[in-house]
Amino acid sequence: MAGFSVHFKKPVAWADSLYIHYWQAGPKSTSSVWPGVPMKPEAEGWFVYRFNESSARFVINDGQGNQTGDQSRGTDGWLDEDCQWHGVQPTLKKAATKASPPAAKPTELAPIGKRNDFREETIYFLITTRFYDGDPSNNFFCRDRIQFNAQGVAIDPHWRGDFKGLIQRLDYIRDLGFTAIWITPPVENRSGLDYHGYHAYDWTKIDPRLESPDASYQDLIAAAHAKGIKIIQDVVVNHSCQYGIRGKVHIDHLPIKYYVPHGSEQGRVNHGPYQGHLGNYAWANRDDIDNPVAPEWYRERHASDPSGIVPLVDPKTGETLPKPGYNPGRFFGVDANQLDPNWFHQEGFICGGDWESAHPLQVKHLAGDCIDLATERQNVKDYLIGSINRYLDMGVDALRIDTVKHVERDNLLEYVNAWKAHKPGLFVFGENLVKGYGWGDMGGGDNGPSPIRPWWYTRLGHDPQNPNSGGDSGFPQLDFGLFSTFRDTVSKGTYGGTAQVFSMDWIYGDVTQLVTFLQNHDVGPDNDFKFRFKGEQWMAAAAYNLIWTVRGIPCLYYGEEIEFMKGAPQDVEGEKDTLHQTGRAYFGEHLSDDHLAQTQSHPLYRHIRRLNQIRQAIPALQKGRMDRISEWGSGMSFVRDFALGGSYAVVGLAMGGDQPITVNGVSNGVYRDAVTGHEVSVGHGAISFHVKGNSAGIYVLDGPGKIGEDGVYLR
């Protein structure tokens, strides 16, 4: 006889009598009258109802206000109290196996040479100098923001982490599940606070403060590749440091070793390792700049007078140095009008409303140590493109471009496309920082025009109100639009409003290549963007559930996995703040041999590791389009459909408390949850399941089942 039976395990809090209300039953689409027909009690709290039809949609209720979500079935099945379907009675299944079904093993990582789609990766972003110190001999104090202990001894060198330390902790990053490492710019820098690498002086050389005799940049690339990890190099196109570019252009300054603070005299400076004056203490000549294109008098003083006491006449004013209190601008400032126009723009510094206007944003200088390059000039293109090509030849796998909106799009694409031509298949993404949706002329309350917004750089058209006026530029961006919602969503314990961001995904060239994140070295997602995420741990876990299952490539900023420096400012704020007070501070103790096991037992560490395992095993989570998006504050659901790769997943997320999830219009078939291993059969385009608080349901059509081990949040 045709038909099927539905068995249901009554939750403890429900009334003793159960009913099943059905509709669209069989070919005649019959239905019951609410609350439905009685279900028959079975042993151990189970109830059953036998359908004579081939399929039906239904809900089960107790007539007292408790009910399941919409269900759809066409074969025998057991629906447990968590609204999870089973092909056999769960109690019998457990008795037969005496254990839960084994978790699917994480997918083995393919060799780097065969991973040609960067959407398959997840990214661990770190500031190399603040990560792990493998070689104390290359440590270096910048002349600004030096930390002293109670005895007045300088501690915590700004340049502390290095390539040797990173090599020593590649296994840590790989165990966490990341397959790509984004490092801050490794090229040689010059500035009073240049530890992060964004003040380039020589793009052709790696900064020696990062390397060791047995740990060069090439050694790092080789070691990472040996473990299946890709290297993403951060690149600054927009600006140089305030001293110019070694061998190419000099910016007028007086040697810092002749600077004497007001009220002092030469030789009295006592600033940690900077004894006598502020010139570079690690160089015998005590000067910062060895530029061969500097004036002859500068080069002569660079190679002599390390104490800065031999009289020097300022060629610009005729005054004799050293002289206490002499104009600091002659040592540290920049006169924009006197810059070499072959290399730099000459329109002054950004201020006020300049930050939301394309022309000043793209031709004025960011700051005194970020001098705007004339990126449209061929000599600048040749220098920067050629310099970075060398690192691509060394094996660098991808590039991240800094300060994108500060370079006009078509001009910047000349650089991006040149690097792609040099290394076919190269993945390049950019940083276009906005503190809102970033839709420009497309609306959303944006106060800036489209030509400086992220979506514009992902497109080739020239209509600021029509993204489809041009195709995909092949230059995806960090997803600041999604990030900007987190202060009003996950930071407040809700997914409410998140769907609005995804409704505008069509404006991007390829939204699946955007790089998604919760925080980075510049911003945190709370009500004040300056601080690291300071919300509850479960909120962070729910945010990662979202980031790892929606479209885009997930990126984690180092330390998030242990809530490192939670709530601290991302950068120095007060006049006397030092790096150890910030979210960028060195945290080698947590990565030391004595503390490593404790670090790796942190709930978020284990949570992120499992998310990486799941995403790595499910192509739909890597490359699938998002569809059927729904959110209701405490929960969210959507479909990831990667038809080209034959991968299809239905995702349900719970924020705070448990959530019933129902998604209509899905493909029929057998789904298995990558989180719990539960199985659901779908015959009429609707799937229902239950997700525990702050967890996720990732039901994959013909999926492998449970992936990884349960933790505090994924369970």
237-285 pLDDT, tens per residue?
A: 999 999 999 999 999 999 999 999 999 999 999 999 999 999 999 999 9
Give pLDDT tens digits for 609-626.
Answer: 999 999 999 999 999 999
664 pLDDT higher than 50? yes
Across the range 130-157, mean pLDDT stands at: 96
Region for residue 184 given its phi and psi (left: phi exceeds 0; alpha: psi -120 to 50; beta: otherwise)? beta
Predicted local distance difference test score (pLDDT) of residue 96:
37
Predicted confidence band of residue 95 (pLDDT cuts 50, 70, 90): very low
Predicted local distance difference test score (pLDDT) of residue 102:
56
Across the range 22-42, mean pLDDT stands at: 89
Question: Helix 603-617 crosses helix 537-549 at what angle (to 10 degrees)?
Answer: 10
Q: Tokens in use for 359?
A: 């022309």
Question: Helix 378-394 crosses helix 217-226 at what angle (to 10 degrees)?
Answer: 50
Model confidence, pTM: 0.87
Backbone torsions φ then ψ of 616, nearest 5 degrees = -65, -30
Predicted local distance difference test score (pLDDT) of residue 289:
92
Predicted local distance difference test score (pLDDT) of residue 1:
54
304: CB partners within 8 A, 6+ apart: 285, 310
Give pLDDT tens digits for 287-325.
Answer: 989 999 999 999 999 999 999 999 999 999 999 999 999
Predicted local distance difference test score (pLDDT) of residue 98:
36
Predicted local distance difference test score (pLDDT) of residue 353:
81
Q: Tokens in use for 58?
A: 């239904």
157 pLDDT higher than 50? yes
226: CB partners within 8 A, 6+ apart: none
Neighbouring CB atoms inside 10 A of 92's CB total 11
432 pLDDT higher than 90? yes
104 pLDDT higher than 70? no
Predicted local distance difference test score (pLDDT) of residue 675:
98
Predicted local distance difference test score (pLDDT) of residue 99:
43
Q: Comparing C-alpha atoms, which of 659, 642, 622 is closest to residue 495? A: 659
- Strand ranges in 1-158 using DSSP code E only, listed in sequence order: 4-9, 19-23, 37-38, 40-41, 46-51, 56-61, 71-73, 77-79, 85-86, 123-126, 147-148, 154-155
What one-character DSSP code corresponds to residue 369?
Answer: T
Across the range 178-197, mean pLDDT stands at: 98
- Cross-strand bridge partners of residue 659: 691
- Strand ranges in 329-389 using DSSP code E only, listed in sequence order: 371-372
Q: Comparing C-alpha atoms, which of 687, 689, 703, 594 is closest to residue 647? A: 703
Residue 60 parent element (H or E): strand 56-61
709 pLDDT higher than 80? yes
110 pLDDT higher than 70? yes
Helix (H, G, I), strand (E, B) or coil at 389: helix
Predicted confidence band of residue 82 (pLDDT cuts 50, 70, 90): confident
Mean pLDDT of the chain: 94
Predicted confidence band of residue 93 (pLDDT cuts 50, 70, 90): very low
CA–centroid distance for 607 within its chain: 16
Check if the beta carbon of residue 140 is closer than 8 Å to that of residue 158: yes
CA gap 22, 3 in Å, rounded: 14
350: CB partners within 8 A, 6+ apart: 360, 361, 364, 365, 366
Predicted confidence band of residue 97 (pLDDT cuts 50, 70, 90): very low
The fraction of the chain above a pLDDT of 90, given in percent, is 84
Predicted local distance difference test score (pLDDT) of residue 298:
97
Q: Which CATH superfamily is domain 112-238+375-619 in?
A: Glycosidases (3.20.20.80)
Predicted local distance difference test score (pLDDT) of residue 29:
85
Higher pLDDT, 78 or 353: 78
* Whole-number Cα distances in Å, 4 to 37, 77, 80, 238: 16, 8, 17, 67
Predicted local distance difference test score (pLDDT) of residue 64:
79
Predicted local distance difference test score (pLDDT) of residue 575:
86
- Cross-strand bridge partners of residue 638: 651
Using CB atoms within 10 Å of the CB of residue 105, give its burial: 0 to 12 exposed, 13 to 18 middle, 19+ buried: exposed
Across the range 99-124, mean pLDDT stands at: 81
Predicted local distance difference test score (pLDDT) of residue 100:
44
